[in-house]
Each structure stands twice: as structure tokens, then as C-alpha cells.
Amino acid sequence: MLEKKQKFPNFALQDQKNTTHSLTDYAGRWLVVYCYPKDNTSACTLEARDYSCMAAQFLDEGAHILGVSPDSVKSHAGFVEKQELSVTLLSDPEHTLLEATGVWQKKKLYGKEHMGVVRSTFLVGPDGVVREVWTKVKTPGHAEAVLERLKVLRREG
């Protein structure tokens, strides 16, 4: 798993509008990268809605929000439309960024093992270095906690 003080891996992934995003696009800016298992599931929907509702507050703090899952661009487009989301969702069907960050892991569900995304969030500084990591995230109140940590880190310089 990627840890604090490590460089966030570069990526080139498409969003729900087929626009390609990379880490260099956000150079000099704060970035919240939240990795989640699947579009249109209850916890993932709650997380995406929370970030969407708070997107303006994150922008006021100089941070952009990117959600990443293995879902397709088409799935993301439907998810954004259905839930009226304002966040950018990146499609990683080959798990390149998900594996590079260490969130693509063996999981157990109903006693069966499978590979999947461990819900995690990375707060990346303007220099591309990870400043904070949350793993095995519980969605209620998480976006607020990330925003508060961002504010503290910005004050600290």
C-alpha cells in the first residue's frame, strides 16, 4: 500500500467524458484520489455523493477530487448522470493505478476470496507526494475528515 511521504504514481486514465487525466495535469495543486470498488453500490454512491456535495469546499482549499474504480467509462457516465455527481471518476479496468497504489487486493466475501478494491483515499500535495492515507474507509463522515485534514496540512505549509 502506498504510504505517506511517497510519490504518488503517475497515471493516464479516462474519465466519464472520455477525457484522459494524468498526475501531471494536477502539478502544483492538491489532489484527493479516492479509490472505490464499484459504481452504483450503496457505500460507493454515498461516498461519491458526499464528495460531490463538498466539491466546492475542496476547490476553495485548492484541491481537486478524483474517484477511481475498475468500472468502465460508460459505467461511470451512467453513475454520474443517475446520481447527479459533480466529481471526476476515472476508469481503471486494467487496475494500473489501483495496483500501483496497493488498493487492488485479495478480499473475502461470504467466505470466498476474490481480487478487488480496498476502499482507500490518498491526499496528494502540490509536489505529487502523498500527505495522508486512509484505508478500509467507512464512508459516513469520511469526506468531511479528508477536508479537515487538508485544511490542517495547508495551514502547516
Give the CATH number of the domain where residue 56 resides: 3.40.30.10
Total number of domains constituting the chain: 1
| pLDDT at residue 43 in the model | 97
Q: What is the DSSP string of 38-102?
A: -TTSHHHHHHHHHHHHTHHHHHHTTEEEEEEESS-HHHHHHHHHHHT--SEEEE-TT-HHHHHHT
| pLDDT at residue 100 in the model | 98
| pLDDT at residue 157 in the model | 76
- Among residues 44, 65, 98, 137, which one is catalytic? 44
In-domain check, residue 36: yes
Is position 53 annotated as part of the catalytic site? no
In-domain check, residue 32: yes
Which residues form the domain of 44? 12-156
| pLDDT at residue 109 in the model | 83
pLDDT digits (tens, 9 = 90+) for 54-87: 999 999 999 999 999 999 999 999 999 999 999 9
In-domain check, residue 60: yes
In-domain check, residue 7: no
In-domain check, residue 81: yes
In-domain check, residue 89: yes
| pLDDT at residue 15 in the model | 98
Interhelix angle 142-156/42-53, nearest 10 degrees = 40
In-domain check, residue 1: no
In-domain check, residue 45: yes
| pLDDT at residue 12 in the model | 98
The residues of the chain scoring below 50 in pLDDT are none
